[in-house]
Amino acid sequence: MSKNIIVFSTPTCSWCVKVKQYLKSKGFTYKDVDVSKDERALRDMVKKTGQEGVPQLWINNQPIVGFDRDKINRLLEIKP
């Protein structure tokens, strides 16, 4: 089953860059949403998680706040 991955980020966030590089290095594609330019996406993100911080990932609609490598690996079934 393919994974639906959305990354909520901003251009100035170094952790956002790192999480996107990590996903690419593992062969995953994702939709990148710049919440500094998309106010509706920012509202949706905060409504779902209660958090304004980025990066946030939604993997098959499961939210991850921050670059939580263990949770990302678990949801994407990446073996350490």
Residue 43 token pair: 């509202």
The whole-number pLDDT of residue 1 equals 55
Distance of alpha carbon 73 from alpha carbon 61, whole angstroms: 15
62 or 79, higher pLDDT: 62
Angle at alpha carbon of residue 60, lines to 41 and 74, rounded to 5°: 120
What domains are there in the chain, each with its CATH number? 5-58 (3.40.30.10)
Tally Cβ neighbours within 10 Å of residue 30: 17
pLDDT digits (tens, 9 = 90+) for 28-73: 999 999 999 999 999 999 999 999 999 999 999 999 999 999 999 9
